[in-house]
Structure 1
């Protein structure tokens, strides 16, 4: 049975970027090696000034080039080419060699908050050692057996459908819940490709489910 580890790593590459745009977040990078020794990475970025973010990337010694692939709301998808010794600060070779599955990764000024499935303790130990050897601080936050993590998720997961979760996330990112609002139901509807009535219904039902779940958790805690 594998191990699910939640941990934070802080690469020098991310450190340089986040020092200038501390409120920027980077989510779920996809990275793969090229035959010339460079690495390609696809990343979503949001939360801070894009112009400043791109100026920092222009000056970053490890970034050879980048391009904007698309923008969805307040998020931009970049294709980034890493080089100039970037491989010395990437632990991905250990990930590939040990069949480690990474299924959550969000970069902030604190580092990359990650969740990954490791085949065994040895692979987790190898990954940690490789991180430290590459000047990548590693902090383990939680560790679960794969089956127990699944049970924990079932108990603690939010009672939302996929569409409700997507709608809430987009509404939050677009500033629908801000005061004053940065977008409208029509703006959300246009982005989701559905009617304003459908957006309104999804938001209302999602909020009802979250409120009920919150009261149920509070009631259970009071019983304990």
Structure 2
């Protein structure tokens, strides 16, 4: 079973992070065209920037050699950018294992979305199996730059409860994907907590609150009150 993951990579040296920091109200979604040698072209979709001020940020960016406005529709603009630096030139002084970064390109994974933020990239990706995801995660964790936001098996529907917080959703999905709810359990509470950088007690409370919320918003609404004397 494949996995779908959303995660943050905190690295201010990643391409276009400086542009996102300079235009915090704009949303930049990046695609890479790897058929352009060691300097893949950037395809950037920009929203939330009605006056096109992101273009002056492109002009000032040290990692943008040239940009072209390809098209626009309403508040959405599409750009093609030619990078000024190779990935090695851009990231070499900031990552310890550039060879490991190159190996990620051969992982059984598809990065579906890259949103450029003021301190790195937020990515959503599809992974063929747990091993493919672990390869990706292990590289960025050893660089101390990885934060998992959501993890689920592909094809899973969204949770029915609208009252869940993002942290509760993340806890449930991670615990489920790691096998915490399996019978017998494939992962301990401590292992899931470590994955989320939480203490076991904090994770236990978060899972209980999330499960209570789901019960109250789904099956509990159909239950009749217990007869007197049967509530304990």
The structural deviation recorded for 1:104 is 3.2
Alignment: residue pair count:
160
TM-score, length of structure 1 as denominator length: 0.58
| Aligned equivalent of 2:221, options 209, 220, 223 | 223
SS of the aligned residue for 1:61 comes to: coil
Equivalent residue for 1:140?
148
d(CA) in 2 for partners of 1:75, 1:18: 16
Structure with bigger helix share is 1
Is the contact between residue 32 and residue 40 of structure 2 (CA under 8 Å) also seen in structure 1? no
SS of the aligned residue for 2:56 comes to: helix
The structural deviation recorded for 1:97 is 0.5
d(CA) in 2 for partners of 1:15, 1:23: 13
Deviant stretches of 4+, over 4 Å:
none
TM-score, length of structure 2 as denominator length: 0.56
SS of the aligned residue for 2:126 comes to: strand
1:1-56: CA deviation from partner (whole Å, max 9, x where unpaired): 22221212244233311221011101252432423x22112111011365431122
Bigger Rg over Cα: 2
> Relative to structure 1, is the Cα distance of residues 79 and 26 closer, same or farther in structure 2, using a 3 angstrom cutoff?
same
> Relative to structure 1, is the Cα distance of residues 104 and 4 closer, same or farther in structure 2, using a 3 angstrom cutoff?
same
**Long gaps (5+) in structure 2:** 92-97, 161-215, 223-232
d(CA) in 1 for partners of 2:144, 2:46: 21
1:75-129: CA deviation from partner (whole Å, max 9, x where unpaired): 1000011232434549974443113112233334464332211123332233234
SS of the aligned residue for 1:19 comes to: helix
| Aligned equivalent of 2:22, options 20, 44, 58 | 20
Instruction: Give the 5 Å matches for 1:116-127.
Output: 116-127=125-136
d(CA) in 2 for partners of 1:76, 1:47: 10
Equivalent residue for 2:2?
2
Equivalent residue for 2:124?
115
Name which of structure 1's ranges 101-110 and 71-80 shifts more when overlaid on structure 2.
101-110
The structural deviation recorded for 1:219 is 6.1
